């Protein structure tokens, strides 16, 4: 833990490195906020539709690609759920997962904690076993195949009822699904964390790690509720903490990880432009932030694209880039041994 960069250092150091000098160097890091359903690229959608004999409502790749330039949250969600229809068999889920792992490896990802939404598949008639076993089969060989250690997180749709989530969690536990943690995602506003108090208590009792989306579109109070009522160890997004100085102080003191997704925030209009993103201010405040891609097929890029665009807008220093990578490793649910290996790699060991 001693080679952890000093997050209390502020303000950001100046840098005179040009983008071209910095861009080629990919830091080994952990991706902690990634929805596997959000990695479905248009090419794979067509491939899976053909394999499963499904007719797509698009004339071709160009028409589908154009829809990825959505105008608001609803147009994203409509496309996101419509595209999932091509995921029918274990092989489909495995192929989608392998495609992500191959791309993530090229982005410098060495450890990935992958969320999937079982309820989004069960609701359209795909069994829990099919979706879990399909993703898990690709994760089982991720180290050999891609050099990436992986963990699976079962995420629950917060706009559905807690009863629905409890039923799915029971199913996951009954089938001894290889999940390390649970998460909470989808439409945040109006669905506060406290709605899922029993779900998180049950997952904790089962020995699972806990994370939840909070403070993306929802208010800072949702972050406090996720910590105090659900007992989460990590907050996904959390950018709206910046509106509450007392909360920022607490998050810094308790070193609570915030898995920030800059390009996602721009695409879903949580911030107007990348230049308005609070990431530099969060770093300067000493918050434990990491950079993640969320739904990379839909939000304009993988984790390396996020870093490249941050670099172009903010000219992050080498120190800050290393700090973001180190934060991602420290904040993961990986074993202490795996974290030490990754930190060694980051430190050039
Ligand atoms: Zn997310």
> Mapping DSSP to helix (H, G, I), strand (E, B) and coil, where does residue 216 land?
coil
From the candidates 113, 216, 217, 341, give the one annotated as an active-site residue. Answer: 216
Q: So what's the pLDDT on residue 10?
A: 37
Least confident range from 11-20, 171-180, 197-206: namely 11-20
Q: In what order do the strands lie in the sheet with 209-214?
A: 29-35, 109-116, 149-157, 181-185, 209-214, 234-237, 257-260, 288-291
Question: What is the average pLDDT value for the chain, to the nearest integer?
Answer: 92
Q: Is the per-residue pLDDT at 11 higher than 50?
A: no
What is the number of domains present in the chain? 1
Average pLDDT over residues 225-241: 98
Give domain status of residue 35, yes or no.
yes
User: Measured in angstroms, how far is the CA atom of residue 47 from the centroid of ligand 1?
Assistant: 25
Report whether pLDDT(177) > 90.
yes
Residues 56-72 have a mean pLDDT of 86
What would the mean pLDDT of 242-253 be, rounded to a whole number?
98
> What's the gap in Å between 213 CA and the centre of ligand 1?
7
Taking the CA atoms of residue 182, residue 210, residue 143 and residue 288 in that order, the dihedral angle to the nearest 10 degrees is 140
CA atoms within 13 A on the CB side of 249: 3
Where is pLDDT greater, at 349 or 297? Answer: 297
How far, in whole angstroms, is CA 160 from its chain's centroid? 20
Tell me: pLDDT of 21 over 70. Answer: no
Structure confidence at residue 268 as a pLDDT band (50, 70, 90): confident
Does residue 107 carry a pLDDT above 70? yes
Distance CA 176, CA 13 (A): 48
The CA 21 to ligand 1 mean position distance, Å, reads 31
The model's confidence at residue 13, banded by pLDDT at 50, 70 and 90, is very low
Q: Using the predicted structure, report yes or no on whether residue 44 has a pLDDT greater than 60.
A: yes
Residue 48 has pLDDT above 50, yes or no: yes
Q: Return the pLDDT at 24.
A: 46
Domain membership flag for residue 15: no
User: Quick one: pLDDT at residue 17?
Assistant: 41
pLDDT-derived band at 335 (thresholds 50, 70, 90) equals: very high
Q: What is the pLDDT of residues 149-162, one digit of tens each?
A: 999 999 999 999 99
Q: What's the CA-to-centroid distance between 256 and ligand 1, angstroms?
A: 17
Residues with Cβ within 8 Å of residue 195, at least 6 apart in sequence: 158, 162
Segment 61-77 mean pLDDT? 82
Confidence at residue 68, expressed as pLDDT on a 0 to 100 scale:
85
253 assigned to some structural domain: yes
**Residue 247 counted as domain residue:** yes
Q: Is residue 1 part of a domain?
A: no
Residue of 292 and 186 predicted with greater confidence: 292
Per DSSP, the residues of 264-309 read HHHHTTSSSSGGG-SHHHHHHTT-EEEE--BSTTTTT--HHHHHHH
Active site residue 216: yes
Mean pLDDT of 164-183: 98
Indicate the pLDDT class of residue 14, thresholds 50, 70 and 90.
very low
The predicted pLDDT at position 9 comes to: 37
In the chain, the percentage of residues whose pLDDT exceeds 90 is: 84
Structure tokens at 107: 């982005």
Q: How many whole angstroms from 142 Cα to the centroid of ligand 1?
A: 22
Q: How far is the CA of 120 from the centre of ligand 1 (A)?
A: 14
Q: Is residue 5 part of a domain?
A: no
In a domain, 17, yes or no: no
Interval between CA 17 and ligand 1 midpoint (Å): 32
Give every CB contact of residue 55 below 8 A, 6+ residues apart in sequence: 49
Q: Are strands 149-157 and 109-116 parallel, antiparallel or unpaired?
A: parallel
Ligand 1 center to 63 CA (angstroms) = 26
Adjacent-strand bridge partners of 153: 115, 181
Range 123-151 average pLDDT: 98
Cβ-contact 230, 193 below 8 angstroms:
yes
- 92 pLDDT more than 90: yes
pLDDT band with cut points at 50, 70 and 90 for residue 75: confident
pLDDT the model gives residue 18: 44
Instruction: For residue 175, give the DSSP letter.
Output: T
Q: Examine residue 269 and state whether it is found in any structural domain, yes or no.
A: yes
Residue 253 Cα to ligand 1 middle (Å): 25
The whole domain housing 111 covers 26-346
CATH, residue 209? 3.20.20.140
Sign of CA dihedral 332, 186, 238, 110: positive
């Amino acid at each position: 833990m001693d080679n952890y960069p000093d997050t209390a250092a502020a303000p950001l150091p100046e840098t005179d490195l040009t983008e071209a000098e910095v861009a080629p160097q990919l830091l080994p890091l952990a991706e902690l906020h990634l929805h596997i359903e959000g990695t479905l690229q248009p090419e794979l959608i067509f491939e899976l539709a053909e394999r499963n004999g499904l007719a797509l409502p698009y004339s071709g790749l160009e028409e589908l690609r154009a829809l990825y330039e959505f105008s608001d949250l609803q147009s994203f969600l409509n496309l996101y759920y419509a595209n999932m229809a091509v995921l029918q068999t274990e092989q489909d889920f495995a192929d989608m997962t392998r495609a992500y792992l191959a791309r993530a490896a090229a982005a410098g990802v060495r450890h990935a904690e992958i969320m999937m939404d079982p309820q989004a598949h069960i609701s359209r008639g795909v069994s829990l076993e099919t979706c879990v076993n399909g993703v898990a089969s690709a994760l089982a060989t991720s180290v050999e195949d891609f050099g990436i250690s992986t963990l699976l997180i079962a995420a629950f749709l917060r706009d559905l009822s807690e009863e629905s989530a409890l039923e799915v969690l029971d199913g996951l536990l009954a089938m001894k699904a290889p999940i390390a943690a649970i998460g909470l995602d989808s439409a945040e506003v109006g669905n506060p964390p406290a709605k899922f108090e029993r779900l998180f208590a049950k997952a904790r009792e089962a020995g699972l790690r806990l994370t939840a989306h909070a403070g993306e579109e929802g208010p800072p109070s949702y972050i406090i509720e996720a910590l105090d009522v659900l007992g989460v160890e990590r907050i996904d997004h959390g950018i709206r903490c910046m509106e509450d100085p007392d909360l920022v102080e607490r998050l810094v003191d308790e070193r609570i990880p915030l898995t920030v997704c800059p390009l996602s925030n721009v695409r879903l209009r949580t911030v107007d432009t990348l230049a308005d993103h609070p990431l530099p201010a969060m770093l300067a405040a000493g918050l434990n932030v990491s950079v993640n891609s969320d739904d990379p097929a839909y939000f304009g890029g993988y984790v390396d694209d996020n870093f490249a665009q941050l670099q172009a807008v903010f000219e992050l220093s080498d120190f800050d880039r290393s700090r973001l990578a180190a934060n991602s490793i420290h904040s993961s649910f990986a074993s202490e041994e795996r974290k030490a290996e990754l930190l060694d790699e980051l430190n050039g060991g």
